Structure 1
Amino acid sequence: MKLNMSKMIFVMVILLSSLISLSVNNWFTIWIFMETSLFMFIPLMSKNKVNDQSMKYFIIQSMSSYIFLFSIMWNSIKQNNWNSMLTLTSLMIKIGMPPFHVWKPDIMKSLKWTECMLLTTLIKIPPMILINKMICMYLLILPLLITLIVGSLSGFNQLNLKKMMAYSSIFNISWMTSSFMTSKKAMIMFLSMYSFLNISAMLFFKANNLMFVNQISLINLKKKMIVNLNLLSISGLPPLTGFYPKWIILNELVKSSILLTSTMILSSILSIFIYMQINTFSLSNLGLKKKNYKFFFTKNFSAPNLIILPVMLIMWKF
């Protein structure tokens, strides 16, 4: 996506809509900014003409908006938990939260990396704010548990980097939602850290023209280390940068829900294992030529080091 003047305006409107939503208390105003982001994002997807992915995205987002408005009107007549569940369902469809997540990887694999950055960061902020302001904590426990399990398990055996980042985004929806429920400082810290790490990883994939996991083995060692550390930081491996905002969220959340906190920790281990597979593939002899296999025991120590590093961190913690 070349940033000409019109596309720069679209991106700036999406950025401003997301940032203004953070300082607005009226749900109707947040909904207007959410729909503004939608109508600014569709021209970025469709490029010069309307395609299947932009139409699919528009239909899904429009359907979720209709359900949201219907639930609000119904709630004004009679307020009960079913109306709140309907509101939650509409917002879950909008951000691609399981079990309504199937559209997100399918759309992201056909987008360019610049559009994937927007879809996984700024576009999610207004629906998250509405979830935080309109849904009770006890109604969110089950959807967050499902999101953690589905997001961590769906990333296994993914060869397409865009689909893998889509499932990583789905997994981090639960952390983002939890950060909104804890405190404003934790929310701002997690949003800034996650957006920085996510955008830097996708910019690296774009700069090196990477589309599949096995292409990482073709770049030089320095670039491999950069991308692997970045991915491990997104997953929350200590003592990397992405671990600290998650640690703060866990410290706050453990006071309200032990079940959700323990599921977050266990699912994060699965998420780290997925990125460890990428490390093993790119840094071990699986990514080298066949003639170099005889040097496995003498020159290649990357796979044992990847196993020893988390073990040493766990021993140091205890």
Structure 2
Amino acid sequence: MKLNSTTLLFKTMIMMGMMISLSSSNWIMLWSGLELMLMSFIPVMNSMKVMYTESAMKYFIMQSISSAMLMMSIMMSLTMINNKMLMMGAMLIKLAIAPMNMWFISTVEGVSVSMLFTMLITMKITPMMIMSYLNMKPNTIIISSLMITALLIINQTSIKKVIGHSSVFNFTLMLSITAMSSLWMNFLLIYSLLTWSMINLMKTIKIKFINQIMINEQSNLIKLNIWILMMSFMGMPPLLGFMNKLMVFELMMMTKEIMILTIMVTSSMMIAFMYMRLSYSSMIMQSTKMKWMSITNKKKMKIMWINMINLITIMYMM
């Protein structure tokens, strides 16, 4: 969908729904804000392409099931029945935490690049806030999500699916610290910045698959920025992405969650292997085929300034 008055209206309603949910003082208004976000996101997500329409239908069905579960849990709260487990299940579906993430990965592939950030970050802020309200830590779900995501991301060739699996993994890390600290907000802020940088890179150099990085020759500046961004996603010090894993691992050590910490480190290494494929493809591989549309100096400077943000970790720590 092109940027017109209708698109602007729906995007404004998405932000309004998020503000209503985050500032509400009762469950009904919170549910209403979530529904407003969903009903505004579906028309923006849809288009004339068949793949986008299919993804919109999948997203609508799963989000409707989650909203129905949330409303049922709100009704159960009027009785003496414990509704926390049902509400947590509804939020896990909205967050697409494994093993309930396969619908999300297939949906991400059919979303346009311009709406990818809204689906990955904006639509998940309110469910994360609700999980912090519940003050629960589902260790079994966290462990299974970490292991499943690490195994599934290795065999991916689509960059959209890689970003989708990375979103599931990082939100699982956030879920592991919501019951202990409010640092998940700092985690979300840093991850949002990195995701926006990655999506902007995809739009600038026009890539959708990993092999396109190999067959399209870029300038040395673009290659350097891709490499820095991938290293930041891996959590390599002293880049900005290192702060996220440092916060989570430190909290796990303080609470003596050694088993979950071990699985986190192992799965992080497996996901880091995927990002190394992307960075090595951009830095080492050479090609004899140039891109049809060359990248202007203005776009090169834009990518450079975005990725220079990854180098301010020391200032952030101070």
Letter in 2 for 1:74: M
Question: Does the 8 Å CA contact 1:231/1:275 hold for their aligned counterparts?
Answer: yes
Computed over aligned residues only, the root mean square deviation of the Cα atoms, in angstroms, reads: 2.3
Residue identity over aligned pairs, in percent, reads 30
1:214 alignment partner, one of 211, 225, 244: 211
Distance 1:17 1:231 in 2: 33
Letter in 2 for 1:254: M
2:313 corresponds to: none
Distance 1:25 1:133 in 2: 12
Question: Does the 8 Å CA contact 1:91/1:127 hold for their aligned counterparts?
Answer: yes
2:316 corresponds to: none
- Note the residue ranges of structure 1 that are not aligned, 5 or more in a row: 291-318
User: 1:68 Cα shift?
Assistant: 1.9
Question: Does the 8 Å CA contact 2:21/2:32 hold for their aligned counterparts?
Answer: no
Structure 1 pair 249/22, CA: closer, same or farther in 2 (3 Å)? Answer: farther
Distance 1:27 1:258 in 2: 35
Question: Does the 8 Å CA contact 1:84/1:135 hold for their aligned counterparts?
Answer: no
2:59 corresponds to: 57
- Note the residue ranges of structure 2 that are not aligned, 5 or more in a row: 290-318
Alignment of 1:41-190 (within 5 A): 41-47=41-47, 51-80=53-82, 83-137=83-137, 140-184=138-182, 186-190=183-187
Distance 1:254 1:9 in 2: 46
Distance 1:162 1:110 in 2: 9
Letter in 2 for 1:163: K
2:5 corresponds to: 5
1:243 corresponds to: 242
Letter in 2 for 1:4: N
Distance 2:122 2:187 in 1: 13
Q: Which moved more, 1:18-27 or 1:111-120?
A: 18-27
Partner SS, residue 237 of structure 1: coil
Distance 2:27 2:75 in 1: 13
Partner SS, residue 51 of structure 1: helix
1:312 corresponds to: none
User: 1:163 Cα shift?
Assistant: 0.9
What's the CA shift string for 1:61-110, capped at 9, x where partnerless?
11111122223323433434xx4332222211122111111111111111
Question: Does the 8 Å CA contact 1:31/1:126 hold for their aligned counterparts?
Answer: no
Structure 1 pair 177/64, CA: closer, same or farther in 2 (3 Å)? Answer: same
Letter in 1 for 2:225: I
User: 1:23 Cα shift?
Assistant: 4.3
1:195 has 2:192 as partner: yes
Question: Does the 8 Å CA contact 2:146/2:263 hold for their aligned counterparts?
Answer: yes
Partner SS, residue 179 of structure 2: helix
Alignment of 1:231-270 (within 5 A): 231-256=230-255, 257-270=257-270
Question: Does the 8 Å CA contact 1:201/1:230 hold for their aligned counterparts?
Answer: yes
Distance 1:203 1:21 in 2: 28
Partner SS, residue 211 of structure 1: coil
Question: Does the 8 Å CA contact 2:31/2:70 hold for their aligned counterparts?
Answer: no
Question: Does the 8 Å CA contact 2:97/2:145 hold for their aligned counterparts?
Answer: yes
User: 1:210 Cα shift?
Assistant: 0.7
Letter in 2 for 1:232: M
Alignment of 1:284-299 (within 5 A): 284-285=284-285, 287-288=286-287
Distance 1:67 1:204 in 2: 37
Distance 1:226 1:279 in 2: 10
User: 1:175 Cα shift?
Assistant: 1.9
2:312 corresponds to: none
Distance 1:194 1:123 in 2: 14
User: 1:231 Cα shift?
Assistant: 2.6
Question: Does the 8 Å CA contact 1:234/1:242 hold for their aligned counterparts?
Answer: yes
Partner SS, residue 3 of structure 1: coil
Letter in 2 for 1:60: M
Partner SS, residue 31 of structure 1: helix
Letter in 1 for 2:86: L
User: 1:209 Cα shift?
Assistant: 1.4
